[in-house]
Chain A
Amino acid sequence: MKLQPYRGGGFDLMQETISCAGITETPLVIVLAQRIGAGTGVPTWTGSSDIHTAVKSGHGEFPKAVLCVSDIQSGYILIQQAFNIAETYQIPVIVLTEKQIAESIFTVETLPRALQIQRGTYNGENRYEITNTGISPRWIPSFDKKPYLNNSDEHNQASQSTENMDEIREMSDKRMQKQSTLLNNLPEPVLYGNPQAQTVLVGCGSTKNPILDAISEGMNIAYLHYEYLFPTRTQTLLNLVSSGKRIILVENNQTGELGKILTEASGYQFKEKILKYNGKPLFLEDILNIQI
């Protein structure tokens, strides 16, 4: 169990760990603080162009979760959820934040009580036992318990390396079952603003802040905000689409990375996009200038 903060370059460098945590089913929390640009990019300017790399990180196929922070309250809640999800499901969890959020000053009256820590550990015979939820027993090593191997080789239930075709498929299915179990337990994205409004903006991260400002300025819109980004819940989005709303994707990157993730999960193609990728965050004027 580990917390590791990175920005894009360091995240790329260390991606082998995510894949290893995936197959060994080791809880891992990574904070990925995004800024604009590939390579060294534009150091100390903001953007959210690492969403896709977070969701797609690591070679091979394994479950993971990606959460997206937008302000101090969500950071406070989501980092706790990240640890609980990582330990409960024994998966890597990536918490996305942005330079804009990390270096902004927020004031809060108070924050809610801390969430109950969920370590998700329980004893068993085999470390990688196949279960209905996909979650296997995992116990903190101690002298009075049965030793086990965390194996980055494909393995059977007893953690022995395997090249057996049935065992490879069964263990892959077991791991991926955790993603389905997790998806069932994640909340739908939150709809802010006027639910009757014809125009619905969709976004994640710091874009929430100017959009909520625009709503409080009286702009007649609704805003669908993704905090739990992957695995992806799509029912609210699809309901809005099927009710004939005008959907606009708003992102602080060049290619609409959240949109690509939502399209992959829902099949819905975004027709309108507002994309800002000049190193600056989205401002209130950027939102107020949208013709509705």
Chain B
Amino acid sequence: MAIDLNEYNSNLKPTWCPGCGNFLIHMSLKKALSELDITPSQTYIAFDIGCNGNGADKINTYAFKGLHGRAIPLAAGLHLANRKFTVIADLGDGACFHEGLDHLIHAIRSNYDITILIHNNQNFALTTGQATLTTDEEKPMYGLPDSKPERTLEPSEIILSPNPSFYARGYSGDMQQLTELIKAGIQNKGCSVIEIMQLCPTYNEECTPQWFMQRIHKVEDSANTLEEARKIGTITNENINTGIIYRNTELETYYELQENRKDSQSELVDEVNQYDIQKLFDQFK
């Protein structure tokens, strides 16, 4: 019995542009939580800064809207304090691959049990369209009318190189698939990275729904090796594969690898206690 979607709504209306991919990404997230029977009080979302972050007060869960590029460390901290929570980091390609790139790499290699949603709209949209590393090399952008001088980088290369526990790619125009991917990411024990190809009709107007539909192919089976995953994951001019690209179920999570937490039944958040250090002093006397 799924939870009523209205439970996850605040009383505010979204401020995104008409046609923005964020509407359906938010709806997919709410649907995923609802279908997994995870209540608003069992969810903690760390929001980044950007168009996606403007959704922070439009969803009714525990949440922290922090600083640009810092959603992942907030999510990691929230998870380690209380692993009972479903913890999600919600950020854009600008925050994830620029300000917060180090956090992404370390979260994947640390394998915190969190789900990272990357809204990849191929630009810094909130500040009216600056180039990110996913922006097309030829594309004139605000402040860069002759296009960017840097090379474009492939997010799948960055995400796969630290060997993630779970890597999927969805598309903001396919809510049904995206909902299933978010559910699978939440259920995966470990760091789940979900890259979401996002429509941005304002600053990435060339990439229309038709443009995406011509290129998107759904993969049925995830890759077993990183080499295979790189092949499936690489975006070309003709092809964007969506679905679960790679899983590695062998990896232990960061918390499981903490020797001093092996036998503990409680969560860190419950362990703030008064300690008497007098006995320690007596040892020195």
User: Could you list which residues of chain A lie within 8 angstroms of chain B, going by C-beta atoms?
Assistant: 2, 16-17, 20, 24, 110-111, 113-114, 116-117, 119, 140-153, 155, 159-161
Contact = CB atoms under 8 A, between A and B. Distances in A.
B62 interface: yes
B187 interface: no
A149 B274 contact: no
A113 B67 contact: no
B1 interface: no
B276 interface: yes
Nearest to A107: B284
B82 interface: yes
A150 B278 CA distance: 38
Interface stretch (B41-49, B219-227, B231-239, B253-261): B41-49
B74 to A, nearest CB: 9
Contacts of A24: 64, 66
B65 interface: yes
Contacts of B273: 117
A156 B10 CA distance: 14
Pick the 9 closest A-B CB pairs, nearest first: A147-B62, A150-B64, A149-B63, A160-B57, A141-B62, A147-B40, A151-B65, A143-B41, A147-B41
Contact of B65 (A16, A116, A153): A153
Contacts of A151: 56-57, 65
Interface string B63-99: 1111100100000010000101100000000000000
B65 A152 contact: yes
Contacts of B281: 110-111
A142 B56 contact: no
Interface in B107-126: none
Given A24-B66, A113-B276, A117-B272, A143 B39 contact: yes
Interface of B: 10, 12, 39-44, 54, 56-57, 60-67, 70, 77, 82, 84-85, 269, 272-278, 281
Nearest to A17: B67
A147 B66 CA distance: 17
B67 A20 contact: yes
Given A113-B276, A147-B60, A150-B63, A140 B269 contact: yes
A144 B41 contact: yes
A114 B41 contact: no
A147 B61 contact: yes
B10 A147 contact: no
A106 to B, nearest CB: 12
Contact of B67 (A116, A145, A152): A152
Given A17-B67, A114-B276, A149-B65, 18 more contacts: A20-B67, A111-B281, A114-B277, A117-B274, A141-B44, A141-B82, A141-B85, A143-B39, A143-B41, A147-B43, A147-B61, A147-B62, A149-B62, A151-B56, A152-B65, A152-B66, A160-B10, A160-B12
A274 to B, nearest CB: 36
B60 A119 contact: no
A20 B41 contact: no
Contacts of B57: 149, 151, 153, 155, 159-161
Nearest to B64: A150
A5 B167 CA distance: 34
Contacts of A111: 277, 281
Nearest to A156: B57
A183 to B, nearest CB: 27
A291 to B, nearest CB: 42
23 contacts: A2-B77, A111-B277, A114-B274, A114-B276, A117-B272, A117-B273, A117-B274, A143-B41, A145-B41, A147-B41, A147-B43, A147-B61, A147-B63, A149-B57, A149-B62, A149-B65, A150-B63, A150-B64, A151-B57, A151-B65, A152-B67, A153-B56, A161-B54
Nearest to B57: A160
Contacts of B274: 114, 116-117
Nearest to B277: A114
A146 B41 contact: yes
A261 to B, nearest CB: 27
A216 to B, nearest CB: 25
Nearest to B78: A141
Contact of B64 (A114, A142, A145, A149): A149
Contacts of A17: 67
Nearest to A108: B281
